[in-house]
A and B are shown apart, each in its own frame.
Chain A
Amino acid sequence: MSRRAIVCCLIVAASSLAESSQAGDRKLEIMLTNMTPDARSSEASKTCVRALEEILRADYANVQRIGETALRKQVGKTAGEPFFDWPSAALLPVKGRAGTDVRYIDTLILVDCQPEAKQLDVLVHPPDGAVVRFGVRSVPLDKDTVRWVAEAALRRAWSGFSP
């Protein structure tokens, strides 16, 4: 191989390295918890939460799950307090020590989906900490409705995100 070819190869390799080390491109890290009470959990409920999770995951996001018990321990609310009223500050510590392989959680999403009761509650704690709460009542929770709520939640989930 000629010296000129080697130089060309080195230039190409250097430029590709430079591109791969550019900052500013990462997925949104979401931590999702199914908060549906055990007594009201059903296959329909689990399907609803899974559908919501899939919609979140499809929008350039990594979605991890944390169980309700583990979450409540981290938040310090182990007496069954309704999550819908939890303030932003209470949830903030969870983002830094979720006990997972990611360094930081951008967004927490808590979901209570009860299709039988036509009731869906979603709490979104986005990167800027401005919590948004979604409540659906008396509406059949079919695929279209879950998608509609998930898309609204997803829009809020990115609020304040910085790569």
Chain B
Amino acid sequence: MPRLLVFLLALLAATADRALSNPVVNEAAGRVDRVIVVHEGELLGSESRVIAALQKQLSTMSSRPLLLTEASPAEKAAAMPWLAASLPSIPAAWPEPWKDAQTVVVLQVLAPRGKKPQRTSGGLGGRLVFRAPEKAPVYVERIEGTQGASLDAESLAKWLRGALKIAAVKESR
């Protein structure tokens, strides 16, 4: 019995470790909505906790599968110019992982401030909403500076519901 308990705890820990990198649901055939987290270096524990809390709420937000992942290098390269100070030229193609997506939402977590072990979160930076098939975002929120808004799962979830709703408007009209 204790051995079974240890096994179950180990399984639980392994699942928690992979929570951010794995999709919240299996990719279904057809369109999905994606939430991409862009950040510099490693997320702080407190930041990962907020993202994990947000992930728990995703299943109630969209009629399509909604996937939350950390940005791959290609996704980061596609998103960063829109989050930077000057408006970029529209890319010819989306990153490969976005090609099956109806809506792509990008959340930027700014680089932590200070040095280990006293780093503090840089907070929420910019946000983007892309709507297929348009290559330019329908929503850009860009911050000038190095300190963002406080990361909070509840307000992020509320904002995300709105983002998915406005991105879906064109489809229903």
Residues A131 and B145 in contact, CB atoms below 8 Å apart? yes
Q: Which residue of A lies closest to B131 (CB)?
A: A138
Complex interface residues of chain B between 132 and 164 (CB less than 8 A to chain A): 134, 136-149, 155, 159, 162-163
Residues A87 and B144 in contact, CB atoms below 8 Å apart? yes
Closest chain-B Cβ to A88's Cβ sits at a distance in Å of 6
B99 at the interface (CB under 8 A from A): no
Residues B155 and A155 in contact, CB atoms below 8 Å apart? yes
A11 at the interface (CB under 8 A from B): no
Q: Is the interface of B mostly helix, strand, loop or mixed?
A: mixed
Total interface residues on B, using CB and 8 Å? 27
Q: Which of A71-79, A109-117, A140-148 contacts B (4 or more CB under 8 A)?
A: A140-148
> How far is B162's CA from A110's CA once the two chains are assembled, in angstroms?
22
Residues A133 and B138 in contact, CB atoms below 8 Å apart? no
Closest chain-B Cβ to A153's Cβ sits at a distance in Å of 9
B169 at the interface (CB under 8 A from A): yes
A137-B145 contact, Cβ under 8 Å, with A145-B166, A148-B162, A155-B155: no
Closest chain-B Cβ to A134's Cβ sits at a distance in Å of 5
Closest chain-A Cβ to B123's Cβ sits at a distance in Å of 9
Q: Is the interface of A mostly helix, strand, loop or mixed?
A: mixed
A-B contact pairs, 28 of them (CB 8 A): A128-B147, A129-B145, A130-B144, A130-B148, A131-B144, A131-B145, A132-B142, A133-B142, A135-B139, A135-B142, A136-B138, A136-B139, A136-B166, A137-B136, A138-B134, A139-B138, A139-B166, A139-B167, A139-B170, A145-B166, A145-B169, A148-B162, A148-B165, A151-B159, A152-B141, A152-B159, A155-B149, A159-B149
Q: Give the A-binding residues of B (Cβ under 8 A).
A: 127, 131, 134, 136-149, 155, 159, 162-163, 165-167, 169-170, 173
With contacts A88-B145, A140-B169 known, what are 11 further pairs, Cβ within 8 A? A87-B144, A128-B147, A130-B147, A133-B142, A134-B141, A135-B140, A139-B138, A139-B170, A145-B166, A145-B169, A155-B149
